[in-house]
Amino acid sequence: MKTFMDENFLLHTECARKLYHDYAEHMPILDYHCHISPQEIAQDRRFTDITQVWLGGDHYKWRQMRANGIDEAYITGDAPAREKFQKWAETLEKLIGNPLYHWSHLELQRYFGYYGHLNSQTAEEVWQLCNAKLQTPQMSVRGLIKQSGVTLLCTTDDPADSLEWHDKIREDKSFDVQVLPAWRPDKAVNVEAPAFADYIRRLETVSGVPIKTFHDLKAVLKNRMEFFHERGCLVCDHGLDYVMYAPVSDPEAEAVFQKGLCGDPLTPAEIAGYKTSLLLFLGREYHRLGWVMQLHYGCSRNNNSVMFDRLGPDTGYDCINTYAPADQLVSFLNALSVTNELPKTILYSLNPNDNTVIDSVIGSFQDGSVVGKLQHGSAWWFNDHKAGMTEQMTSLANLGMLANFVGMLTDSRSFLSYTRHEYFRRILCDLLGGWIEDGEYPYDERVLEKIVKGICYDNAVRYFGFAL
């Protein structure tokens, strides 16, 4: 029997262990997509207790606590922090085979020096240990980022955001980790949303420019992109139901925009036409600016209407959607390609059945201008576990070039989530090590070092063009 989560955790062969410990283990981290708060980084927030760190905003944990019969008062409610932690400990001990079990214990090991098992019986011990450690200087937000080995991270920011906290971080020479904005214009894209008109008014206020037409909106968004670009933005992100392609004329898109401003009901065809028009415009601008376009799709969000009304979005009531037409994805990418305006693009589907589709699609648009111009993004959300990561990388290796993969991101709201990079790196090295041990690839240290370090860090630096 192997020791629980020791230094060779998930590393099943001698070759895997060598690849991880010699090449992957000490590589820095570039987190090109996350949801942490730039304000908390600017202010170097400190946490009072482990519940605040672990359960505040973590809908991964919330879902499992609900599945364990825990009352909402102990999840998102006003129960005491110690009691919430106890309920999480009671839940965690049941999560055999779940990545949350691994993530939680990696975080306990790396940040708190705890190598035991968190469960209902050890909860008090862990509570005391973690809370004491959180009072030490190195456990502030900036301290956690630094000790994680992060060199650069990209937050997720709306076009209407002032980016004032990014400015403050950049001006503070005492903190040498780059914190850059990433453009997320979903509220401008989702013309069918009840709050669409209110959002357009917000954009008007921020930009100081009236937005009366679809042309006005595009002009304001272009201006805001320049504002983001001046502050180091090189990445955008879209959260889509699916990648659609339903081209319409400018007057047709204008008519839909006007209906959106008035809150009038829209047909599915009208919504698809507007979104296609705006996304094509944005894609061309991303190419002009040299940004990377990230497309996340395949999620059915806010499924529980009762709980959405009570708690709002991002609270653990989402699931995988199976509708993602490959022909529309291809047509969208092709429409940008025919005018030589297809930006570097990363595709993520929440449905693991789309892995081979994505890998075949990206191969259709590699043009030799950039190494791995189109990327299959890392296993996302419901797939960032051992099986999901292995399946994504195996599919990419089968149909594309795994060695050019830009690797892992946190996609997290927690400052302790950087252990996900360690988790990924162990799985990567185990996968490669297995192939080598089986004689499917030679043990060539020169090449393997380049492959492992590339996927862990170097490929992302090159691909995004960050100054590191």
Taking a C-beta distance cutoff of 8 angstroms, is the pair 192, 217 a contact? no
Does residue 203 lie within any of the structural domains?
A: yes
User: Could you tell me the CA-to-CA distances from 443 to 15, 17, 141, 447 in Å, in that order?
Assistant: 8, 13, 40, 9
The tens digit of pLDDT for each residue in 267-289 reads: 999 999 999 999 999 999 999 99
Does 439 lie in the same domain as 298?
yes
The pLDDT value given to residue 413? 87
Of 107, 122, 137, the domain-final residue = 137
Strand duo 319-320 + 299-300: pairing: antiparallel
Where does 119-193 show beta strands of DSSP type E?
150-154, 178-180
398 shares its domain with 328: yes
Both 368 and 244 in one domain: the answer is yes
Q: How many CB atoms lie within 10 A of CB 363?
A: 13
From its phi and psi, is residue 290 left (phi > 0), alpha (psi between -120 and 50) or beta? left
Q: State which residues form the domain around 179.
A: 139-464
For residues 218 and 132, state if they share a domain. no
What is the pLDDT, as a whole number, of residue 145? 97
pLDDT of residue 24: 98
With pLDDT > 70 as the criterion, what percentage of the chain qualifies? 100
Of 110, 137, 164, which residue sits at a domain end?
Answer: 137
Has residue 124 been placed in a domain? yes
Is the domain of 360 the same as that of 421? yes
Is the CB of residue 352 less than 8 Å from the CB of residue 392? yes
The whole-number pLDDT of residue 141 equals: 97
Task: Classify residue 253: in a domain, yes or no.
Answer: yes
From residue 216, alpha-carbon distances to 23, 222, 392 in Å are 51, 10, 41
Check if the beta carbon of residue 369 is closer than 8 Å to that of residue 461.
Answer: no
Could you tell me if residue 186 is inside a domain? yes
Q: The CATH number of the domain where 215 resides is what?
A: 3.20.20.140
Chain centre distance of CA 373: 19
* Average pLDDT of the residues of the chain: 97
User: Are residues 248 and 394 both part of a single domain?
Assistant: yes
Closest by Cα among 9, 29, 6 to 417: 29
pLDDT in tens, 173-216: 999 999 999 999 999 999 999 999 999 999 999 999 999 999 99
> Final residue of a domain: which of 118, 137, 156?
137
pLDDT at 172: 96
Task: Give the mean pLDDT per block of 10 residues along the chain (468 residues).
Answer: 96 98 98 96 97 93 98 97 98 98 98 98 98 96 97 98 98 96 98 97 97 98 98 98 97 98 97 98 98 97 95 95 97 98 98 98 96 97 97 98 97 93 98 98 98 98 96
